[in-house]
Structure 1
Amino acid sequence: MRAFGILSVSTLLLAGCSLTTAGGLSECETSADCGVEQVCTQNFCLPQPAGCGTIYGDTTDPNAVQIGAVLPLSLSATDPSAGQDTSEVQGLNAIRLALDELNEPGRNSRKITLHMCDTAFDAMRTADQTRWLVNEKKIVALLTAGSSQTLAAAAVTLPAGVLTMSSSATSPELTSKEDNTKVGLLWRTAPSDAIQGRVIANLLLNDARFNSVQKIGLLYLDKDSYGLGLFEVITERLRGSSKNVRPVPYLRKDENSMLNAVLQLDPFDPDITVVVGFEDDATFLVKRGLSTTNLKTGAGHRWFFSDSAKDAALLDDKEPDVRTEVQGANGTAPAQGAGQAFNSFQLRFIQKYGPDPRNFSFTSHAYDSMYLLGLGVAYSQASSGAVTGAKMAEGLTKVSSGSNPPIELTPTNFGKAASELAAGRSVDVEGASGSLQFDAAGEAPSPIELWKVEGSNFVAVENIPPPSP
């Protein structure tokens, strides 16, 4: 036993640990004592969560406000060759653009540091990363994407008092999410799928462009709050109508499941098939449809997509047969703004990153989410002398007064909105994504865009106002 004890202490000392005066072992006091990609946890240097470590914004000001982001950039946590989700990458670019603008000299009362983690579409990984951001990085707010991942993150952030803002979590489930605080901590700039689902169903039921549609296929993502949320809204709206609907679920990134779903739907011979899922799944489903009897345009079939498929990767040259097959197809997505705020954002985004943000869903919503956190920082700092998630959320309740001419969220106008909030006065704000009139549930109901595939572009057909429940 004595020899074993000496060996254990020697091993720890060789690993870089030291004996504390209290008789315990200590390797670090703060994460600054540890190496790259390590954090100090209970006085030991341990690896930080996979996917974390990227930092944007101010990295030198010790007084900077710490904000986190958990975003699904990689398509796989284990296979680097799977690539990245281009819509999410552009969403991050929109956040970075807003962050750089907020950190310009004289723009805000406090600089902002953004700690970014790549979730790779894994809800469990998202929760672990969020826990690390809350406990180790002491974030006061978190930016999220996607419904399932936002719900996983919120289970960590809400009890900790961390404001959580999503630009693309659209599941109706978020509306009823309790955070047990006087001022809600869970917000989103994207409209609920309760709105998008009603728009899709109304188009198929009542719009002259879909008069010939009698049989509707619905391929939807199963075991996912986003897929299930849209499935429930669409089918409930269509129930009892003259339309014949055949819903078929599939599992995310499961090729056998998706192939079986296509084969199961083919005998139904739908006039149109609505795909509720992400771009990579939509590409696979369309490609497999080419090998069926009825699920191809040559047989008179049409495709219709939800917002997550609006991604330039659906139309790229890697899958020319898919791009040909989806020509003329329609889809929906939360509408981008149409005013000066969007035009200003679009111009600066193209100048900095290249692509047109209109070719992706939620880019303007991501940009607005960062700007809203900036307004929350300004309000919290002015009202309490410190920045907390609860005070930032309180500030967000004051940007939807409904009685003032809206202030457009652009770099030149941000100071005006921040000053009004700092002075205790409510404002109305118009973002790049459109009106940000938040309701009591922390949501900003907004129009839904009907789009169409033309060549290598997604062309806006019209913006449809939120329909009644």
Structure 2
Amino acid sequence: MRLAAVASATMLVLAACGSEDSSSDTDTDAGDDTPTTSNIDLKIGTALPQTGNLAFLGPPEEAGVGYAASLIEEADTGLNLEIVYGDSGDTDNKAYESEIPRLLGEDVSAIIGAASSGTSLQFIDQVVDAGVIQFSPANTSDAFTSYEDDGLYWRTAPSDVLQGDVLGNLIAADGAATLGMIVLNDSYGTGLAKYVTEAFEGAGGEVVAMETYNTGDTSFDSQVSAVLAANPDAIALITFEEVATILPSLFGEFPAEDLYFVDGNLSNFGKQFPKGSLTGAKGTLPGLSIDSLKAFTDDLNAYAKESGQFPKGLDEFSYAAESFDAVNLIALAALAAGSSDPADIAGKLQEVSGGTGDGEKCTTFADCAEIIQNGGTADYDGISGPITFDEVGDPQDATIGIYQYGDDNTYGAYTG
């Protein structure tokens, strides 16, 4: 059994769960029995991290996009989908400064990305001002919930309110009374740290140290020293790939079983560190348990190799399902709207996710497309979960998985 947090619009529960512009030829209203025949040319861009401090998330996210597109093509619904790949980079290398204008110049209806909340905030206004949808598979900052985005920003990852609650309560439940944190100083890091703090202190704990650093920093000795000097029972590392530089300073100085990771740095480090370096460390990651998604990840890996997109295959799968679902939702919304116009697509995204509450459940693009083309309303439940968008584009139903590292420095579903 593993722990998970299941969130809805009105409830947060910590519980155990098992491992687990073209228009249509015929335009009909939802619920009309007249079949809809579509002939839509849809172009989607990606601004995912090929470089920067989340580059390890780029391959699974891009593979998720490519795999979804391949299945949409196989479905042969009359929706002609083209993917234009781009690099988001990060706030240090600023790859987005050239990539976003390039993607917008390609006349895309939507841009999938960025992975980093802080990076997305650098170009969301540019995308929205162009009247294009921005759809992130991995943004978790609460800043987007109330952002003025003209209804054009959507995400398949839940807000950090949820992950922070799960992580803070997990640390307390593990017996820690005091907590130190090393935190990336951006909207993701400080936002998640805020909710971890609220949950941990609400459970009776005390945060005794919180040290921050900036994107692009390469030395973290002062942050590590300050946190260790506070002598906390546990340390939460709310970082991106900088964690690989931070960890060696903690080895031998702090018990691995009292270290906690988050979605931004939970990674299969393997032989990067000596065997057993991370044994017992835990971390949180939005989405269903990777162990329970084995059929999907196996198929995704096979696609990545066979298509030549990633010939050596994948060794990370974080946010692959959310990226896969993002493509399906955009494509289904275009089909439901009978249009590739971004505003028309945005107007159907909540509906096809089940957020309006009146659709027929379906779990593949092909099955959902059939419902739509027969005049019905589809309610897509994705690989990453039910999704069920609210009116501001946040998923209402979400799971936060808890994972634990073994002796090989890779993680699996927590079984404690």
TM-score bin, normalised by smaller chain:
0.7 to 0.9
1:38-71 superposed Cα distances (whole Å, 9 cap, x missing partner): xxxxxxxxxxxxxxxxxxxxxxxx9742221111
Distance 1:204 1:249 in 2: 20
Aligned to 2:402: 450
Aligned to 2:249: 288
2:224 counterpart of 1:262 = yes
Distance 2:300 2:379 in 1: 24
Q: How does 1:116-131 map to 2 (within 5 A)?
A: 116-122=85-91, 124-131=94-101
* Paired letter, 1:107: D
* Paired letter, 2:414: V
2:391 counterpart of 1:391 = no
**Structure 1 residues 264 and 73: alpha-carbon distance in aligned structure 2, compared to 1, 3 A threshold:** same
What SS does the corresponding residue of 1:69 show, helix, strand or coil?
strand
Aligned to 2:334: 377
Distance 1:167 1:276 in 2: 19
Distance 1:378 1:391 in 2: 10
Deviates more, 1:427-436 or 1:233-242: 233-242
Aligned to 1:148: 118
Q: Is the contact between residue 168 and residue 199 of structure 2 (CA under 8 Å) also seen in structure 1?
A: yes
What SS does the corresponding residue of 1:118 show, helix, strand or coil?
coil
**Structure 1 residues 214 and 72: alpha-carbon distance in aligned structure 2, compared to 1, 3 A threshold:** same
Question: Aligned-residue CA RMSD in angstroms?
Answer: 2.7
Aligned to 1:406: 361
* Paired letter, 2:198: E
1:217-253 superposed Cα distances (whole Å, 9 cap, x missing partner): 111101x111111012122333465322121112234
Aligned to 1:360: 317
State the shift of 1:177 in Å: 0.8
State the shift of 1:254 in Å: 1.4
Q: Is the contact between residue 220 and residue 277 of structure 1 (CA under 8 Å) also seen in structure 2?
A: yes
**Structure 1 residues 425 and 394: alpha-carbon distance in aligned structure 2, compared to 1, 3 A threshold:** farther
Aligned to 2:161: 194
**Structure 1 residues 115 and 201: alpha-carbon distance in aligned structure 2, compared to 1, 3 A threshold:** same
**Structure 1 residues 274 and 142: alpha-carbon distance in aligned structure 2, compared to 1, 3 A threshold:** same
Distance 2:250 2:333 in 1: 47
The one of 256, 275, 278 aligned to 1:326: 278
Structure with larger Rg: 1
* Paired letter, 1:406: K
State the shift of 1:195 in Å: 0.7
Q: Is the contact between residue 336 and residue 358 of structure 1 (CA under 8 Å) also seen in structure 2?
A: no
What SS does the corresponding residue of 2:85 show, helix, strand or coil?
strand
Distance 1:283 1:343 in 2: 26
State the shift of 1:462 in Å: 6.7
Moved segments of 4+, more than 4 Å: 337-340, 354-359
2:367 counterpart of 1:416 = yes
Aligned to 1:42: none
Aligned to 1:46: none
Structure 2 gap ranges (5+): 1-38, 306-311
Distance 1:338 1:274 in 2: 22
Structure 1 gap ranges (5+): 1-61, 77-83, 464-469
State the shift of 1:89 in Å: 1.3
Distance 1:330 1:186 in 2: 31
Identity of aligned residues (%): 23
* Paired letter, 2:168: A
2:288 counterpart of 1:336 = yes
> What TM-score, normalized by structure 1, do the two folds share?
0.72
The one of 62, 68, 71 aligned to 1:98: 68
* Paired letter, 1:115: V
Distance 1:337 1:437 in 2: 19
* Paired letter, 2:282: N
Instruction: Give the number of the structure whose residues are more often helix, by fraction.
Output: 1
Aligned to 1:275: 237
Aligned to 1:25: none
Q: In the comparison of the two structures, how many residue pairs are matched?
A: 365
The one of 68, 75, 81 aligned to 2:52: 75
